[in-house]
Amino acid sequence: MTESPFEIGGAVPDAARIVEEIQRTVEARRRAGAYADPRLMLAEQANLLHRSRDANFLDLYLAGLKDAVFVDINDFDIRERRRYLAPWLVRLKKGLWNLLKFYTYRLWSQQNEVNGLLLTAIEEMDRTYRARIEALERQVGLREAASSEPRDAAPPPQASNR
């Protein structure tokens, strides 16, 4: 085979160093409170697998979930991007909203109730499992301490029934 007369090359960036630098920056900003907004949790979902290895992951995730658990039905304004007929289209959309409001509010309140119950269940499971893990760690620590104690005396001889 003949070699290509073209050779493309350049400095290869150190991907590990770049990722490490990004992680340090994100961690510093997180500690400063830059990512407390629940809307930023959507961006974190892409990094969920990596973050799940972090010891503080569940605390951070539950805090974000508490902030975002209830759906706010009034957090948007009806607007129209198109220039032509915009006022009429906004009126039409607001009219439809007023007609469907009864059904929408019922669904909204049911969704908020389900979200609140699920969050409560998750928090209770977290408390339960944390308590179990702490109890098991205490038991392991006590058993390790008991097994590492020096045994000075030989065990007493057992009496035989012969």
Dist. CA 19–CA 162, nearest whole Å: 75
**Can you tell me the distance from the alpha carbon of 137 to that of 143, in angstroms, rounded to the nearest whole number?**
10
Could you give the percent of the chain with pLDDT greater than 90? 17
For residue 122, count CB atoms less than 10 angstroms from its CB and return exposed for 0-12, middle for 13-18, buried for 19 or more. Answer: middle
> Tell me: the pLDDT tens digits for 71-100?
777 767 888 888 888 889 999 988 998 888
What's CA 47's distance to the chain center, in Å?
A: 9
Residue 132 CA: distances (Å) to CA of 54, 127, 160? 20, 9, 43
Stated pTM of the model: 0.49
- Cβ neighbours around 22 below 10 Å, total: 10
Write out pLDDT tens, residues 29-53.
Answer: 777 776 666 555 555 555 555 555 6
